[in-house]
Amino acid sequence: MAEAGSFAERVKQQADIVRIVGEYVRLKKAGQNFTGLCPFHQEKTPSFSVHATRQFFHCFGCGKSGDVFKFVMEMDKCTFPEAVRTVAAKCGIAIPQGRERSPEERRENQQRSALVEIHREAAAFFARALNSSQEGKVAQAYLEDRGLDAETIARFGLGYAPSSGDALLRHLKPKYAEKLLESAGLFSRNETGRLFDRFRRRIIFPIANESGKVIAFGGRALGDEHPKYLNSPETPIYTKSGVLYHLDRAKETIRKNDSAVLVEGYMDTIAVARAGVLNVVASCGTSLAEGQIKLLGRFSRRVVVNYDPDAAGQAATERSLVLLLEREFDARVLALPGGSDPDKYIKEQGAENYARHLQGAPSFFEYLIGRARSMPRNSPEEKLAALNFLMPYAQRIPSSLLRSEIATKIASELRVEEPVLREALRRAIAERRSEVKTKPELVRPAVRPVERRLMQMLVEAEGFRGQLASRIRESACHKGLETERIFEALMDATQSRGQLDPAALAESLAERDRQLLFDVLFKPAPEPTWEEAESCLIELECGKMEEKLTELGRRIAALQPGEKGLELQSQFLHLKKELARLKGHPSFADKANPN
């Protein structure tokens, strides 16, 4: 609390809470006050209010409230003194020099200040080496080949570390003690104990903290040196898990757009920013840390993950999604067509096409469902493996309503019985497990009523059984269904004369198909009619057409610029017309609209 007459009280009197909060939250004027979406919990209808006259905030949804300092403390996860300094800086109020509490604290502060200054000088040294040395010309040629012009190089402060091994050391050694230089993370020791430059013959990417001060570097090898990318180690001023590359430049756009784009590395970040997407940040590696997620959450809880499409990138995307879901982020995933990373795609296909794909990036679960769809799912064991691939993500969703919606999607996509899936998910959450513990044979196929009814008719409809079997074969509407093998056996049996013998037919089926057939045949059913059979057939045919339309839509959306998609578009329009015709059939329309 700000004491009367204190510096904090003076800052509070001069600060405008509406302006300060407005840097974090989009506020709209509502009478004398201002409202917006609460930054402390997920909501779609604004319940967060700022009282302009009395200078306090309150959320009617989650109950959080307080003054301008309390707001900054909650948003920036900082202490009261830090919040006072932050608000003072935002208001342009000079901060008085405070007294050090101990000699140790004074030494630490002096060390941190010196390390920041060393990194500032190192960044300037690397930039000069890129622009003035003979080696630097080779590095410049490499950057130009990667599509970077002089303006971009200067904008991102890129530099070059000479190959000599002691160029930076010789530059800094006259000004700083050896022990301090070693703690900067810019140097290493050889077998004899001598210091040498950590970065040699590398393109240098300065890494800044949120306020824009350089605190570390990343180096990209020019030749075949390993590793290809070398980063600064952790130091008193740099903790990798608490820094996002480019956040210092991107944070205002992230707040304004209420969204961020997350990529893997430096070149991807630069390419995306140059394409006009300024709200881009990088995790600088394939492991997004919890600290980085907390940092990003201060500016927005909406993020598009656009990691590289290789195996490591896919694994990193999936690891990141787990953490983002636990923090209740609204996450989407962009997997660029052609297996391209952002830098390569923008270079080859242009900024406009990248922006189009970014705008259409699917939700995190649509992406995961697509990954599960690509897995083999023919046997119960394979289906269980696909289910267990999705389970860790569904399990970590805090919202029970969203978990329920996703369980329905999984059941539909994997064609498993929804009640079984819901019970497995409930148990996994209760027991804190990330997999479904059930026997593969219990992952029963989800069989629609229309499939069950057609199977009954192929057994019971003596008058038109052969006609029905011919129509199913002709349309191939049973292909790809869990019941495909049962339909094939029933249709084969219609070719034989005499009454169909279900017991004999069942002998040719696998155990789970046999159980399903008997389950269907033992259920009471009305007398079959051809009108009902035709309605069921049209429903299955419509389902197949809708699947084909979805697949064609995906293929059309993935077309590269210049690729001819006329044939695909023609197929799409033809199928759409045919689907409309089938749905307009009297027997199907009567079933769809019984009233």
pLDDT at 385 over 50: yes
| Minimum mean pLDDT range among 88-102, 229-243, 384-398, 577-591 | 577-591
Task: Write down the pLDDT at residue 595.
Answer: 41
Q: In the predicted model, what is the mean pLDDT of the chain?
A: 84
Task: Write down the pLDDT at residue 405.
Answer: 80
446 vs 93, more confident: 93
Residue 476 falls in which region: left (phi positive, over 0), alpha (psi -120 to 50) or beta: left
DSSP annotation of 203 reads E
pLDDT at 558 over 70: no
Task: Read off the pLDDT of each residue in 124-129 and give the average, rounded to a whole number.
Answer: 96
Task: Write down the pLDDT at residue 569.
Answer: 82
Distance CA 468, CA 462 (A): 10
pLDDT at 563 over 90: no
Percentage of the chain lying above the pLDDT 90 cut: 33
pTM tops 0.75, yes or no: no
* Contacts with 301 (C-beta within 8 Å, 6 or more apart), sequence order: 42, 327, 328, 329, 330
Closest CA to 232 of 285, 181, 184: 184
What is the CATH code for 107-238? Answer: 3.90.980.10
Q: Give the model confidence (pLDDT) of 416-455 as tens digits.
A: 777 777 777 777 767 666 665 555 544 555 577 888 889 8
Locate the domains of the chain by residue range. Answer: 7-91, 107-238, 242-362, 369-442, 447-525, 529-595
| Minimum mean pLDDT range among 59-68, 72-81, 269-278, 407-416 | 407-416
> What's the 3-state SS for 407-438?
HHHHHHHHCECHHHHHHHHHHHHHCCCCCCCC
Distance CA 582, CA 361 (A): 32
Q: Give the model confidence (pLDDT) of 513-530 as tens digits.
A: 887 888 888 888 888 899
CATH architecture of 7-91: Alpha-Beta Complex (3.90)
For the chain, how long is the longest CA-to-CA vector?
A: 103
Q: Give the model confidence (pLDDT) of 278-329 as tens digits.
A: 999 998 865 788 889 888 887 888 999 999 887 778 888 888 888 888 888 8
Task: Write down the pLDDT at residue 594.
Answer: 44
Task: Write down the pLDDT at residue 274.
Answer: 96
Task: Write down the pLDDT at residue 436.
Answer: 59
Side by side, the strands of the sheet bearing 202-208 are 159-161, 202-208, 214-221, 229-231
256 vs 160, more confident: 160
The DSSP element (H or E) to which 28 belongs, if any, is strand 28-30
> Highest mean pLDDT: which of 44-48, 96-100, 155-159?
155-159
Task: Write down the pLDDT at residue 446.
Answer: 59
Task: Write down the pLDDT at residue 499.
Answer: 66
pLDDT at 99 over 70: no
Q: Residue 180 — pLDDT band, cuts 50, 70, 90?
A: very high
Tokens standing for 84?
A: 């006072």
pLDDT at 149 over 90: yes
pLDDT at 346 over 50: yes
In CATH terms, 242-362 corresponds, of 2.40.50.100, 3.30.499.10, 3.90.25.10, 3.40.1360.10, to: 3.40.1360.10
| Encoded amino acid at 571, one letter | Q
Task: Read off the pLDDT of each residue in 342-347 and give the average, rounded to a whole number.
Answer: 94
Task: Write down the pLDDT at residue 441.
Answer: 47
Distance CA 509, CA 489 (A): 8
Task: Write down the pLDDT at residue 593.
Answer: 46
- 3-state DSSP assignment of residue 360: coil
